[in-house]
Amino acid sequence: MSETKTGQGPADSTTARVAEVLLAFAGSKEPIGITDIARATGLSKAVVHRIVQTLCASGFLWQNHETRKYQVGFAAFSLVDSANQTSKFRRHGMEVLANLAETTGETTTLSGRIGHRRVYVGQVESRQLVRISVEVGAAHPLTIGASGAAILAFLPEDEVEAVLNAPVPAMSATTITEPELLRERLRAVRRDGFARTTGERVRDSTSFAAPVRNRFDEVIGAISVAALTSRLTHERERALAAQAIEAADALSGELKTPLHH
């Protein structure tokens, strides 16, 4: 593994190196030394030493001064609860998606927020011959699609403005890119408790999405149900929106229960 990666700036390269050093401890049950870390990461001993010293100072690593080797520090354990929540998000989320797909007969998706984007972490496809499908693992801006709107609408105001003040990309002719129109959409989402979009990602598709919250009541993702626009009626739309909200609330409830339950 080389020390530099094509296309990465200095900040990106430094972050990648820190991540590589931390991951070297993931596969080790015993304390490891600078030479071991350098061998596992492909980084020079000098680079490893600088990174390790920084991680020790912040509590993520700890050095045994007798053996001069390093192990994971107590600060790293503060991330465990967060990691468990992430695992719980997808595990319970897939169960909720399956139930929602069964009751609606449509494709259901689970999105998780990553900064100013959201990524599809799961889907259950409709059994109908003609159906909507997404690419699990694909990331999209929060300004695009019902799931993005359901997440963005409930973020703190400063985060919303940071997203809207950045260039807004368009995925289709129906993508809303004007900040004021996006603000209007977000106000409607907050009022209704769900987001509805048509044709922003896939032609002839309408999606209904509702926010998923963690145990701190922070919005971390969204659940959506997507159907062909041509087979929707007003009553059907109302039903799908209500079912999306119910599913998202169910997952939020699971995430708010203690991890040992």
Residues 43 and 55: their CA atoms lie apart, in Å, by 16
Give the model's pLDDT for residue 217: 92
Q: Which of 44-48, 78-82, 129-133 has the highest mean pLDDT?
A: 44-48
Q: What is the mean pLDDT of residues 168-179?
A: 84
Domains of the chain: 10-77 (1.10.10.10), 80-255 (3.30.450.40)
Mean pLDDT of the chain: 87
Summarize pLDDT for 68-88 with one digit per residue, the tens: 999 888 777 667 666 666 788
- List, as one string, the DSSP characters of 151-202: HHTTS-HHHHHHHHHS----SSTT----HHHHHHHHHHHHHHSSEEEESSSS
Asked whether the predicted pLDDT for residue 259 surpasses 50, the reply is yes
pLDDT (mean) for 39-62: 91
Please give the residue that has the higher pLDDT: either 223 or 91.
223
pLDDT at residue 6, as a whole number? 38
